[in-house]
Amino acid sequence: MASYETPRVDVNANGWGPTTLPEQFLNIPYAPFNKGDKLGKAADFVSNYAPRGSRYARDPSGVNAEFQYKHDSKEDATFQLVDTSKGTRPKTEDRLRPTWNQQRFGGRGGRGGRGGRGDKPDPNAPTTSSAQLRMKGMQKQNKRWDRLSNARRAFAFRRTDEVHIDRVASVMVQASWNLVDQFEMQQLTKLQANIPKTEDLKWAGELKEYDAAFDRITSRSNTRVHRYDDRDFYYVTTTDDPVIEELAQQGEATVFATDAILSHLMACTRSVFPWDIVAQRVNNMVFFDKRDESNFDLLTVNENASEPPK
């Protein structure tokens, strides 16, 4: 049969529990563990404090006081808040920038401004020469500010409006071609020619008179449009024109071109759409021709306007 030894029992005459504690458990607060206990907050800056005897008490019951937040004045002295308020702007910056009244009413001399209609004299206004110089400097700075603002807005609008379009050339230049001469558009605009006295060699064809009634057509006054089947338009090149061929055989001139080709050469500095002509030399005569199936004879709209089409 196993033996049984009675354990040591310390008698505490002053209360219930052990009389002495081991050294490893000294100065440690006793906290009974209970799953139903509510966790407290280290610091609560939102809720309002209510006395313990109030009906709506803030402190939950059954919470260990040893683990609750305790205010420490020494630690609070080292705590600093970050200043998030907007800083005051120096007066020197506001002095150089135009105010709302200056932008709306023109500043000094405008309505409600200094020296303008509705102005009340300021008895404390400085009248020394330094104040006048300071006022002139402010006016110059305001004008400079307005000029820069207007230029910035104009540049922004111009960048949004400008659309760069790459147009396809009318003829592809081959690398094997030999460059004879090259003319810049700026050079052509500065050219001046002494126009000699002209002479009509021959009159050919006919040109009907334009009816000015078509310029006065409105929604109330209409004009009937007639169809003419006997009107033909011939868009021929220079070498295919029978009249120019006859003049070339007679030796009347040395350079030949049609009216359409000559008009393109005269307005080449203002042209937008690509085009090209062919120069042919026959003996001592030069013929300016157009290519077959080209848009040389197409009538454009607003091509040489101040705002050409995109």
pLDDT in tens, 90-147: 655 555 555 555 555 454 544 544 545 555 555 555 555 677 777 878 888 888 888 8
pLDDT tens digits, residue range 35-46?
776 766 666 666
Three-class secondary structure of residue 151 per DSSP: helix
Spatial contact of 264 and 275, defined as CB atoms under 8 Å apart: yes
Percent of the chain beyond pLDDT 70? 67
Mean pLDDT over each residue of the chain, to the nearest integer: 75
**How many CA atoms within 13 Å lie on the side-chain side of 38?**
7
Banded model confidence at residue 157, pLDDT cuts 50, 70, 90: low
Nearest to 291 by CA among 280, 281, 277: 277
In the chain, the percentage of residues whose pLDDT exceeds 90 is: 11
What's 281's DSSP letter?
E
Do 283 and 253 touch, CB atoms closer than 8 A?
Answer: no
How far from 209 is each of 49, 176, 206, 212, CA to CA, in Å? 103, 50, 10, 9
Between these two residues, 97 and 189, which has the higher pLDDT value? 189
- The confidence score (pLDDT) of residue 15 equals 77
Give 191-244 pLDDT, tens digit per residue: 888 888 888 888 888 878 888 888 888 888 877 888 888 777 778 899 999 999
CA distance 99 to 234: 69
Task: Specify the DSSP class assigned to residue 270.
Answer: G
pLDDT (tens digit, 9 = 90+) per residue, 61-101?
555 565 566 777 777 777 777 777 666 666 555 555 555 55
Q: Could you tell me which residues come within 8 angstroms of residue 265 by beta carbon, excluding any fewer than 6 positions away?
A: 257, 277, 288
DSSP H or E segment with residue 256: strand 255-256
Confidence (pTM): 0.44
- pLDDT at site 159: 58
pLDDT confidence bin for 20, thresholds 50/70/90: confident
pLDDT at 255 over 90: yes
